[in-house]
Amino acid sequence: MKSPQRLARYVLAIAFCGWLGSALAVEDGTSPPATNSLERMHIRNAKCTWTKEIGDYIYQCLKDNFGMNAHWCHNEAMEVFCPKQLGSSDAAEKDAAPPAK
């Protein structure tokens, strides 16, 4: 039987490889176009850097929600802080309309 530490190392290695591959795809610009507003938000904020304010916002959100809804807290923090950081004030308008086909 494999030890839990060994299993954890495998899981972390796989997660790291996935993260690295997605980071390289975003840098190369080879990622496919977004198909929904959540994907568009993540692609638009891909170059947003982590700040203490974002971390504090997510921590407070998780604390208020008893440790639940981590994805929701992250997405909300990205919608609040990344447009300010990247200088795109019309982020809500970009999500409203789907891309032209």
| Complete DSSP assignment for 28-91 | HT-SPPP-SHHHHHHHHTTTPPP-HHHHHHHHHHHHHTTT--HHHHHHHHHHHHHHHHHT-TTH
| Whether the predicted pLDDT of 52 surpasses 80 | yes
Q: Are residues 20 and 41 in the same domain?
A: no
- Judge if 39 and 25 occupy the same domain: no
pLDDT > 90? residue 29: no
The domain in which residue 10 lies consists of 1-31
Q: Any residues with CB less than 8 A from the CB of 53 and at least 6 apart, and which?
A: 81
Predicted local confidence at residue 31, as pLDDT: 63
Residues 25 and 50 occupy one common structural domain: no
Arithmetic mean of pLDDT, 40-65? 90
Q: What is the mean pLDDT of the chain?
A: 77
Residue 38 confidence class, pLDDT cut points 50, 70, 90: confident
Whether residues 24 and 41 share a domain: the answer is no
12 with 58, same domain: the answer is no
CB 45 within 8 A of CB 78: yes
Q: Count structural domains, the chain.
A: 2
Q: Both 82 and 47 in a single domain? A: yes
Instruction: Please tell me whether residues 61 and 74 are part of one structural domain.
Output: yes
